[in-house]
Amino acid sequence: MVADRAAGEDATLPEPQRATELLDQLAGELAVRGLTARLTAPAGRVPSLHVVNPRNSRLAEDVYAAPARDGLWWFWWPWAERIAADDDLPSAAALIVKVLGTKDRAHG
């Protein structure tokens, strides 16, 4: 998927704005799959998406969007592990659903 990516206009946005847009898109994908997500973008800090399993609020995690060293954008766990490429929302959502232990309403 990354190799097929066309350089879109959004790739030239400032990093915090691009991150916010990507996280907002991911929030929509997660909502369809039964998770709640709240975007936080405090001034001077990196935007993040706080994702919660509504059936067990102790199952929650923050997700980030940022470029890797090669310049390609990814979704990341807070411990700096990649989740999925920015253009692969279904894979990112599926892994987050798996980690937070909720049934994927959209795909099963």
The pLDDT tens digits of the residues spanning 61-104 come to 999 999 999 999 999 999 999 999 999 999 999 999 999 986 65
Per-residue pLDDT band for 4 (boundaries 50, 70, 90) equals very low
DSSP assignment letter at 106: T
pLDDT value for 82: 97
**Cβ 58 vs Cβ 50: under 8 Å:** no
Euclidean distance between the first and final Cα of the chain, in Å? 23
- What is the reported pTM? 0.81
Cα separation, 104 vs 91, whole angstroms: 12
